[in-house]
Amino acid sequence: MVSAQKKQTLTIRFNNRFGNEQLLPEQTYSLNNTDTLVVNRFKYYISNIQLTNTEGKTIIPENQYFLVDIADEKSLSIQLNIPEGKYTGIRFLLGVDSIRNVSGVQTEALDPLHGMFWTWNSGYIMAKLEGTASSSMIAGKQFTYHIGGFRKHHNTTRLIQLQSPAFTDSITIIADAAKWFNGINISKEPVCHSPGTLAVRFADNYSKMFSIAVKE
């Protein structure tokens, strides 16, 4: 009789930053030494997580969806039940896949009450960044970026692939919100609330915001 494979718990922690600084609500940050920002909201979906172990095998935990939110400390840590072993790679989708976007009203992390769902036609907001900036020209010096879209050329989900020295029970992933602003002029582009070319530009930017924290 073959015994069941032993399991272990993997904790994935998300360390949200703005450049080299910890990202906290209502904190002030400098952007390119020319703009002053205050971040009020920062949320993003993580889904379809896959792991690669030291033997090169791909492990797919139960298909789950998580909403990371700097205003919710509990959301910054994800726990997965996986086969015992050592892992060197992690892959996940930033956003919500197309099937879930057209599956109607859902629960838990995908509940519309989280403020991350538009309509059945537009689908989910994959990631959200809001705050104020000294260069913004709209009322209250605001910037509000609600990035979504899942259809063809307007798809704003992004596949993230990261490599790390072997890990077993925990891994920390850095998410640098400053990457959102690469090539973005806040004074001219303070708002993005619908699928389209600008949303795709933001998605290309936030696809580069993740890295593995080096253990000291």
User: Pick the residue with more confidence: 89 or 121?
Assistant: 89
Residue 100 CA to residue 45 CA, distance in Å, equals: 12
Q: Do the beta carbons of residue 45 and residue 124 sit within 8 Å?
A: yes
Query: Rounded CA gap, 171 and 86, in Å?
Result: 11
**From the DSSP assignment, how many helices (H) and strands (E) are in the chain?**
2, 14
pLDDT tens digits along 15-49:
999 999 999 999 999 998 889 999 999 999 999 99
Q: What is the pLDDT of residues 121-179, one digit of tens each?
A: 778 999 999 999 999 999 999 999 999 999 889 999 999 999 999 999 999 999 999 99
Would 1 be classed as within a structural domain?
no
Residue 2 inside a domain? The answer is: no
With respect to residue 195, please indicate whether it lies within any of the assigned structural domains: yes
Tally of structural domains, the chain: 1
Model pLDDT, residue 157: 97
Domain containing residue 102: 7-212
Q: In this predicted model, which residue has the larger pLDDT, 196 or 33?
A: 196
